[in-house]
Amino acid sequence: MAANESKVSMFGFVGKAPARIGQPESAPVCTFRLGSTPAYYDAARGAWVRRPTTWITVKAFRNLAVNLFRSLHKGDPVMVTGSLVTEEWTKEGQLHSSLVLEADGVGHDLNLGQGVFTRVKPEETDSPGRRDPWDDRADSKAGNTPDDSEDLGAATREGVSPGQEMAGSHTANETAKAPTQPVDAF
């Protein structure tokens, strides 16, 4: 970490769908707007009081950019950790600046919902001679290999996603081991 680097974590909602920026042959860069609205409980009023929303631009690079571009949608609750930086540019002779959060990590806020993780091997998106990381046709190749599914206990039946498996149904391997419980039975 560089001297005097400002590392922060922000919780909020994706305010604008992630967008790809930069040139196709350059390293992947993705950006989105994050809105964070703090709230506190006012006992005198007997109600929650919301403070003004803070908006910040989040930028991600390389594998993180590609993965968040494919994973995040407007309205998703997220957690972002990274460095606060000031970007400067000149427009019509005027110097402008903006505070940007350069993301080191981005994830869905699981306090507000459930998620399913699909591992993508780094060499699939960030190696010399790689396929275009923004190419959506590659999505059908991404994810767990049959060997990974065995190790992770992921779904192996067609038409059933790993998330559906975890939400109460069971795989053939689990049937022999023990009955599954619904998610809300913990």
Give the model confidence (pLDDT) of 146-180 as tens digits: 333 333 333 333 443 333 333 333 333 333 333 44
Q: Which residues are within 8 A (CB) of 106 and not within 5 positions of it... i.e. 6 or more apart?
A: 58, 60, 64, 68, 72, 78, 79, 80, 81
Least confident of 60-64, 80-84, 105-109, 128-132: 128-132
Long-range contacts of 137-140 (CB under 8 A, 24+ apart): 139/70
Nearest to 103 by CA among 62, 75, 132: 62
Q: Which residue has the higher pLDDT, 9 or 175?
A: 9
pTM of the predicted protein model: 0.63
Q: Which helix (H) or strand (E) holds 98?
A: strand 94-108
Nearest to 14, CA basis, from 64, 92, 80: 80
Mean pLDDT is highest, among 61-70, 132-141, 173-182, for 61-70
Question: For residue 38, how far is the Cα from the chain centroid?
Answer: 21
The candidate with the shortest Cα–Cα distance to 68, out of 11, 138, 9, 20, is 20
183's tokens: 């998610």
Backbone angles phi, psi at 78, to 5 degrees: -135, 165
